[in-house]
A and B are shown apart, each in its own frame.
Chain A
Amino acid sequence: AQSVTQPDIHITVSEGASLELRCNYSYGATPYLFWYVQSPGQGLQLLLKYFSGDTLVQGIKGFEAEFKRSQSSFNLRKPSVHWSDAAEYFCAVGENRDDKIIFGKGTRLHILP
């Protein structure tokens, strides 16, 4: 069965600092991986996804993620965070493009001014 682990429940960084959110997955074959962001009381917004090809994926809002099969990881990065990036971030995995998505527990990002 698929599973996703986000080891950090909360992360606090200063505005302008770099960010890395960790995500590990468990799945036998090549997974379909996603990062979503959710602002308080809001729905989900897709930041980026990985299906195949280049393991470094560029997303919206300056985010990128790197798929590392050897480490079963798909960490999300941003070189310089903005106060508006404060939100909940979910890593997720699916068996294929159109199948159900299993979410990690999420990482709440706090930004210090």
Chain B
Amino acid sequence: GAVVSQHPSWVICKSGTSVKIECRSLDFQATTMFWYRQFPKQSLMLMATSNEGSKATYEQGVEKDKFLINHASLTLSTLTVTSAHPEDSSFYICSAPSHGTAQETQYFGPGTRLLVL
């Protein structure tokens, strides 16, 4: 079946540095991908919609200058957390819809756990 991968699976960084997270659709093309954030013991909150070839659409309250999204190709979206701070520590999950498949319409990546010291 269709698979979405994320890299890295976990990352630890110092406060003030930037971190890039990749989301790849491995055997299908995705013109749209979604980025979610999940704090411990909480639900997934949609951050933004990544659109191939155009600007991302951010949910209300999400700082677009802090969370840079680039959908460079039909199989890759990246989320860069700029000038990361401890409050950005979270579990980041991406998803991609696979058009035309019968089994599942949204494929979720395994997530990236970010810890900012």
Contact = CB atoms under 8 A, between A and B. Distances in A.
Interface of A: 32, 34, 36, 41-44, 46, 49, 90, 94, 97-106
Given A98-B105, A101-B95, A90 B43 contact: yes
Contact of A100 (B46, B93, B110): B46
A98 B109 contact: no
Interface residues of B, number: 21
A104 B43 contact: yes
B44 interface: yes
B43 A101 contact: no
B67 interface: no
Interface of B: 32, 34, 36, 42-46, 49, 93, 95, 97, 99, 104-106, 108-111, 113
B105 A49 contact: yes
A49 B113 CA distance: 27
A91 to B, nearest CB: 10
8 nearest interchain CB pairs?
A: A98-B97, A43-B110, A97-B105, A44-B108, A103-B44, A105-B43, A103-B43, A43-B111
Nearest to B105: A97
B32 A98 contact: yes
